[in-house]
């Protein structure tokens, strides 16, 4: 069984060194989560969503920082290109240049002209057609692909894997009706991942969101974390869900609201199913299957921009062919999902992640098993340059919690 137990002993390993959570050089930071902490600017050897394709198509030139690279995305000659946004002559941004030669970018300062596909310098306009510098300089290029209305960029040193390896296959089906929302926000991408997969914050932070107002969020639950059948995701399932409970010394929580089911006066427990499942996969992608008859799925990507910012891409997706049903989905998205779910509910997450310093939980508590499962995924399974990728065994327990020892 490829599972990892989170127990009291493990807590001692994952907590910060005595002296504070921010001990940047503590053995813990160098030890168990070494790769995780080193990836503060993002993992390499992955395809990342960098922009909506329609944005680059419209603007022709679009600059976006990804994993600390300033990348210039270009739509020219009916094709997408990506190059580093820096002319090798005097380092001015190539985005200030022109696309007057199809398939090329001409720097706006002295007219060095680069082939967009290869990055090679093919002319230096202000030095004449026989300029000897031609062929002796280049700009870095990045592979780009358009899928599902999104522009994907490969950030890595090794040979790119097919882009389809880094996009859930269900998003590429012809009947996927996708509504995207892309924002650059404050915070580190790793903590956005932790927050997305975090079990406990929903019980507290999101209790005030209109999205959950009529649903009655549980007080607490036990959790099971498994790997998916396709070996791409880790899944978090709610097991025993305690809708409310008695807390010694302070009383019952949460208080029942009159429009929710009448409180019987006893703690109420229900048992979760796989119907509502939250999953996360590398490099930074979350999936939330909406429960019941909602018939749509929410996806998040937390593309690293740099240590302090990330690109937050949210996709609301439903799979349908019937034009009336497509219209109904369109109406639902624009009439309430966009505002109540994306801006209000997810806005609470963005606010917290933006306020979170570089940290590990100072004192772990049991629901943090989900956070450590995400860290384990990055630490042990993320791709590395020029190394075979360790594959995730499908359909197994991934991380278990020894509830008697964890504290």
Residue ranges that bind ligand FES, judged by CB under 6 A = 87, 89-90, 92, 107, 109-112
Partner from Fe ion, ligand FES, none contacting 115, C-beta within 5 to 8 A by type: none
87 binds, among Fe ion, ligand FES, none (CB under 5 to 8 A by kind): ligand FES
- Closest to 339 (Cα-Cα) out of 309, 316, 310, 312: 316
Residue among 169, 144, 162, 384 at smallest CA distance from 287: 169
- Cβ at position 96, least distance to ligand FES in Å: 9
Tell the smallest beta-carbon distance from residue 115 to ligand FES (Å).
15
Q: For ligand FES, give the closer residue by CB, 92 or 326.
A: 92
| Least distance in angstroms from the C-beta of 147 to Fe ion | 26
Q: Which does 349 bind (CB under 5 to 8 A by kind): Fe ion, ligand FES, none?
A: Fe ion
Give the H/E segment covering residue 379: helix 369-381
Report what 261 binds from Fe ion, ligand FES, none; CB cut-off 5-8 Å by kind: none
Which residue number, 86 or 166, has a Cβ lying nearer to ligand FES? 86
User: Min. distance of Cβ 98 from ligand FES in angstroms?
Assistant: 12
Q: How far apart are the first and last CA of the chain?
A: 24
Choose the one of Fe ion, ligand FES, none that binds residue 110, judging by a C-beta under 5 to 8 angstroms depending on kind.
Answer: ligand FES
Q: Shortest approach of Fe ion to residue 157 CB, angstroms?
A: 34
337-345 contacts, C-beta under 8 A, 24 or more apart: 337/179, 337/296, 338/179, 338/181, 340/209, 340/210, 340/211, 341/211, 341/298, 341/316, 342/181, 342/314, 342/316, 344/209, 344/210, 344/211, 345/206, 345/209, 345/210, 345/211, 345/212
Distance, CA of 302 to chain centre: 3
- Residue 141 or 221: which CB sits closer to ligand FES? 141
Nearer to ligand FES, 137 or 178 (CB): 137
- If the CB atoms of residues 89 and 201 are measured against ligand FES, the closer one turns out to be 89
Q: Confirm if 177 and 318 have CB atoms less than 8 A apart.
A: yes
3-state secondary structure of 116: coil
């Amino acid at each position: 069984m490829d599972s990892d137990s989170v127990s009291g002993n493990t807590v001692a390993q994952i907590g910060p060194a005595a002296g504070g959570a921010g001990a940047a050089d503590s053995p813990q930071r160098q030890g168990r989560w070494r790769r995780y902490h080193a990836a503060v600017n993002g993992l390499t050897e992955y395809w990342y969503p960098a922009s909506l394709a329609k944005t680059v198509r419209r603007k022709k030139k679009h600059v976006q920082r990804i994993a600390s690279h300033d990348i210039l995305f270009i739509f020219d000659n009916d094709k997408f290109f990506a190059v580093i946004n820096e002319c090798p002559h005097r380092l001015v941004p190539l985005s200030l240049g022109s696309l007057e030669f199809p398939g090329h970018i001409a720097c706006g300062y002295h007219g060095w002209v680069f082939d967009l596909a290869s990055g090679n310098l093919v002319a230096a306009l202000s030095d004449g057609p026989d300029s000897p510098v031609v062929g002796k300089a280049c700009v870095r290029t990045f592979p780009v692909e358009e899928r599902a209305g999104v522009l994907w960029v490969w950030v890595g040193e090794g040979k790119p894997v097919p882009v389809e390896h880094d996009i859930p296959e269900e998003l590429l089906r012809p009947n996927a009706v996708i509504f995207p929302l892309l924002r650059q926000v404050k915070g580190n991408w790793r903590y956005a991942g932790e927050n997305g997969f975090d079990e406990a914050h929903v019980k507290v932070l999101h209790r005030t969101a209109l999205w959950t107002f009529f649903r009655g969020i549980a007080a607490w639950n036990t959790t099971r974390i498994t790997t998916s059948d396709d070996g791409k995701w880790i899944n978090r399932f709610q097991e025993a869900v305690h809708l409310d409970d008695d807390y010694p010394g302070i009383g019952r929580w949460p208080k029942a609201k009159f429009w929710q089911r009448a409180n019987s006066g006893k703690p109420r427990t229900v048992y979760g199913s796989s119907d509502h499942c939250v999953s996360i996969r590398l490099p930074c992608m979350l999936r939330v299957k909406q429960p019941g008859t909602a018939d749509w799925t929410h996806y998040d990507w937390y593309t690293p921009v740099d240590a302090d910012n990330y690109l937050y891409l949210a996709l609301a997706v439903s799979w349908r062919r019937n034009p009336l049903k497509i219209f109904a989905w369109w109406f639902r998205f624009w009439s309430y999902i966009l505002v109540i779910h994306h801006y209000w509910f997810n806005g609470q997450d963005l606010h917290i992640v933006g306020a979170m310093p570089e940290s590990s939980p100072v004192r772990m508590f049991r629901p943090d098993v989900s956070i450590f499962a995400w860290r384990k995924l990055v630490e042990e399974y993320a791709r590395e340059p020029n190394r075979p990728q360790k594959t995730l065994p499908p359909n197994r327990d991934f991380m278990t919690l020894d509830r008697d020892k964890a504290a």
